[in-house]
Structure formats: C-alpha cells, structure tokens
Amino acid sequence: MLNIPTQSFPAPSSQQRVAPSGQSGRNKVALKPGHSLMDWIRFSKSGKDLTGLRGRLIEVTQEELQKHNTRDDCWTCIRDMVYNVTPYMDYHPGGEEELMKAAGRDGTDLFDQVHRWVNYESMLKECLVGRMATKATTAVKAIIPPPPPTGLAPPTSVALPPEKDSRPRYDWFQTDVTVHLVVYTKRKIPKSGCTIVDLEARVLRMEVLLGKMSYMIHLCLADEVEGSVAVHTANSVGKIQVSIRKQAKGKWASLGQPLEFHNTLLRKKDRAVFYRDCVLVSKTEVNHNTYVFRLQLPRGTVMHVPVGKHVYLKALIQDTEVVRPYTPVDQNLTGPSQHSLQESDLYLMIKVYPDGVFTPHLNTLHIGDHISVSSPEGTFSLRPLRDATNLYLLAAGTGFTPMARLIHQALQDIDTIRITKLLFFNRREEDILWRCELDELAANNERFQVEYVLSEPSESWTGRKGRVDESMLNEFLIRPDGSKCYVCVCGPTAFTELTTGLLKQLSFHEEELHAFQG
C-alpha cells in the first residue's frame, strides 16, 4: 500500500490555479437527469468504491496507466497523480468525448487548456488511484531565488529573461513612521490598474500584472505595521509605490525576509492565483432572480479589477471546493462615483439558479458572512477598442455583466468610438437586467443604442423576437465605409460559440472579436 502525503488532498487553501479567460474550447453537453455537479458531489460522498481498489493507493507505472484506456475502464494522470475517471463519465459537463482524450495517458496539458481553475483534487479525490511511479522534474525551483540568511535579497534573476534586461526591479526607503516599497516595471502600465497588494499581519504580497506576465514581491516584513496600505502609480513611467505605516517609530535594518516566489517574473498562467477572504456587506435585488452582491475586501488589500476582467469566487460546498467566475460591475450603469473610486468593494451581478450548485449557496449567505475571492483574471484588453469607431456588444442573460463597464468605458474614456450598440438577448421582459438604466442612457447619449431580443415574448412585445441568427446579426452589425468595428460577445457557452461562428461567416476576423468565456 502506497503512503500518499496529506497534501495530495488539499483542504481549501489560499491559492489555486485558474485557466485564462478565452481558452475554453469545449462544448457543454446535455447531462442526463440526476447527473449535475451536485449529484456528483453526493455520489462521490456515498462511500462507494470509485477506484476499484477498495481504498488502497498504488504506485502506477506508465505501462499500467496505458492499459486503462476504455470507456468502461478509464484512468488518467494529472500532475503525476492518477485518477479512475470512469465513474465521472456521465457527470462531466464536457461529455465523455473530452475525458476519453486523456484516457490511459497524462491529461495535464489537456486539463490546463480547458479548465485549470477547477479544483480537480477536491472533485476527484474519491477517484484517486495513486501516484505515477516516475515523476518528471520541473524547472520551478530554478526560478525561485534562495532566501539569504539575513536582510533583504537584492534583485535577482527571474524566469523567462528576454535578450534585453527589461525585467522589473524594486527598491525601498523609510522614515521613522512609514516604509515605502518601489517597483520599477520599466514599461508603461495601464491606468485601469495592474497592481494587487495583500497585507496580512507582517506578510506583504504584491503582484503586478504586466500583460501576460506577473511580477511578484512576497515578504515577511521586518517589524509590525498598520493594516492599511496606500498605492501610488506613475503610469507613464511604470513606477509603483506601496506605502505602509509602522506600528512603532524607528528605523528598520532591513525590509524583511523573502518568501516563496519573491522577486519573480512568471507567465500569468503559471502563477497560482491568490484568494483573499471577503465579507458580504449588502445584497440588492435587480430582478426576480438576479442580485448585486457587494463584497468588501480585507483592510490590507488593494485591488481594482480592470474593465473586462473577472474574479473567481470559491466556496466549500458539501466538503467539495467549488469555483465560479464572475465579472464585477459598477454600482450603476453610469460608472463609479468619486466616492466609489476610493473604496475597495466589489459589486457582482449574479443570477441565482435554483437547481445550481454555487448560486444557491451564495444566496444563503447572510450579511457579514465570508467568501474567498481571487485576483483579477482574463485575457481581455482595451487596446483594440482604442482603434475602433463602432463597438458592438452581443450579450445573453447575465452575459451582460462584462458589457456594463465596457459601455461606460466606451462612452466616457474612448473618444474614437463614435457609436456603441448593445444587442441584448433574454427570454422574457422581466429578465432584462438594468433595462431602465439602459433605456435612459440611450435616450440621453446619442453615442449609445440598445435593442432587446426575447425568445419567449408576451403578446404585447413589439421589439425583436427569436434567437441569434445570421440575418439578425447582418441587420444589426452595420459597417459604414471607413469604420473600424469591434465586437464583444458574452453569454451561455452555446450562445457564445454560435454567435462567434456566425460573426466569422459575416467576415469578422479574429482581431475584430472578443468572446468572454464564463
């Protein structure tokens, strides 16, 4: 019997990998009744032997793994751990075909491409067969500078060095009452915010998002500090200063001791995402099944989610870690007020599905309850919009959420966009989110137009009816001579895939499209 260390079954932790937005290539399939995620959670906790090994954990050779490659006997390996996924076949949202792609072999790369953010250790822990007999070495340790015996390490080599040394560096200075950490990114940084700071007790974690890269400062500070943090950014020169008040006056001999991944530059997708504990401070009804949940970040956290980015919420539901992505909105459609720009709260517009797993749990939270929230994620960039003259937004249901802040951004901050048009798909009139605000904005701003499409309209409905199709898009997406169009799509997976396919048939190119993946 193989002794597997307890960390192979991680409890809910502060870090978990997530997949970048826009890289999901799978199609969801219609699951049989009784085969939802909640049904799988119940089944996996039923005490049945899901591995066929009666509770034993074994060491699996490559030859043994390859034998288990059929629908009725399917093993796969993820990060050197082998799982019998046969019982999970009928519960997998991507269908049997997707799981069979990794049958009898290492499925780590396939898993990472589709849904690395899913906590498979928790979902499949009852299916664990054991560990692979041989374990490939990784280069992770090579990019972590060893901590010095005392003081603060000077800037060291980090991962993926380019030919020219354009890697960020840091410095620090102090007064008797404050300590200041300065990061020089050596490049312009977006005004929308790219710095996340978490300070808990004496542990400082600062992550700077630089396109597809992530630069991190991770320190145990030399002495006790106050809980609040101030961040000042000089965007044009790429300088970021973090200021913290000391609890006791006096000079520090050093800034502190380096912790894991301190002073490293990694690809964002290789960085384990960090979760912090947030508090539900209010819940406001939007319509009959959708609410705005206002979450307060911890006192020592500074985090602004850029337009088009999302966060992940994580909760333990029936002893299983469940994670879901949500895109923040502003307090209202006209954007943040001066007051809200100074606060650190997140507003999430979420539809509650009675037969879902995560949203019913979220709906049971009381004011003051806690939930884990990730750092910003997603591949969306505002850069293409700055060359566009016509912005078209195609949204279905709560796929409207990333469009809300995009509308404000286009109308307030991007002068080149002459017209922003939203085509908003819903089932019934009562399902339309923020309809009054959208109508008011369209009435008061000639650069914004909105049209609604209902699939189950009442007899009195006079607007567009039906579902998305080529003729509807052809009529909506006008391309005037000399214009540069950009189209954003968000909604359920089937809607997004159908719509992007139709757009390509209408000769919209990849560089003119962005599909938000939920």
- For residues 494 and 393, membership in a common domain is answered with yes
- One domain for residues 261 and 287: no
- What's residue 452's pLDDT? 98
The CATH number of whichever domain residue 178 belongs to comes to 2.60.40.790
Q: Are residues 431 and 455 in the same domain?
A: yes
Distance CA 505, CA 503 (A): 5
Task: Note the pLDDT of residue 379.
Answer: 86
Q: How many CB atoms within 10 Å of residue 403?
A: 26
SS3 of residue 422 by DSSP: strand
Complete DSSP assignment for 47-102: ---SSSSTT--EEE-HHHHHH-EETTEEEEEETTEEEE-GGGGGG-TT-HHHHHTT
Work out whether strand 203-210 and strand 390-396 pair parallel, antiparallel, or are unpaired: unpaired
CB atoms within 10 A of CB 69: 15
For residue 11, the model assigns a pLDDT of 33
Q: Which of 330, 363, 371, 365 is CA-nearest to residue 348?
A: 330
pLDDT digits (tens, 9 = 90+) for 141-200: 333 444 443 344 444 444 444 445 678 999 999 999 999 999 999 988 877 668 999 999
CATH number, domain with residue 49: 3.10.120.10
Residue 6 per-residue DSSP state: G
* 328 part of a folded domain: yes
Number of folded domains that form the chain = 4
Give the CATH number, domain containing residue 424.
3.40.50.80
pLDDT at 110: 80
pLDDT, residue 164, reads 58
In a domain, 417, yes or no: yes
Asked whether residue 290 is assigned to any structural domain, the reply reads yes
Residue with tokens 């507003």: 347
Do residues 389 and 294 both lie within one domain? no
Is residue 473 assigned to a domain? Answer: yes
* Cβ atoms 28, 493 nearer than 8 A: yes
Domain-terminating residue out of 254, 270, 286: 270
Burial (CB count within 10 angstroms: exposed 0-12, middle 13-18, buried 19+), residue 273: buried
What is the signed CA dihedral for 21, 22, 24, 27, rounded to 10 degrees?
Answer: 120
Write the CATH number for 324: 2.40.30.10
- Are residue 174 and residue 259 in the same domain, yes or no? yes
154 assigned to some structural domain: no
Q: Cα dihedral sign for 145, 147, 148, 151?
A: positive
What's residue 199's pLDDT? 96
What is the pLDDT, as a whole number, of residue 32?
73
Indicate if 203 and 128 belong to the same structural domain: no
Residue 160 lies in a domain: no
Residue at 141 is within a domain: no
Claim to verify: residue 186 and residue 266 sit in the same structural domain? yes
**Ranges under pLDDT 50 in the chain:** 1-26, 136-163, 338-342
User: Which range marks the domain in which residue 302 is found?
Assistant: 275-374
Contact 126, 91 (CB under 8 A): no
Q: Which of 374, 408, 438 is the last residue of a domain?
A: 374
pLDDT digits (tens, 9 = 90+) for 231-278: 999 988 899 999 999 999 999 999 999 999 999 999 888 888 899 999
Do 397 and 329 sit in the same domain of this protein? Answer: no
- Which of 378, 474, 464, 476 has its CA nearest to residue 420? 476
Taking the C-alpha atoms of residue 209 and residue 194, their distance in angstroms, rounded to an integer, is 5
Are 422 and 493 part of one and the same domain?
yes
pTM: 0.74
Q: Are residues 104 and 203 both part of a single domain?
A: no
Residues 6+ apart with CB under 8 A from 112: 17, 19, 269
CA atoms within 13 A on the CB side of 11: 1
**Which pLDDT belongs to residue 336?**
64
β-bridge partners, 243: 180, 230
Q: What is the pLDDT of residue 141?
A: 39
Pairwise CA distance, residues 297 & 60, whole Å: 44
418 contacts 389 by C-beta, under 8 angstroms? yes
Please report whether residue 156 resides in a domain. Answer: no
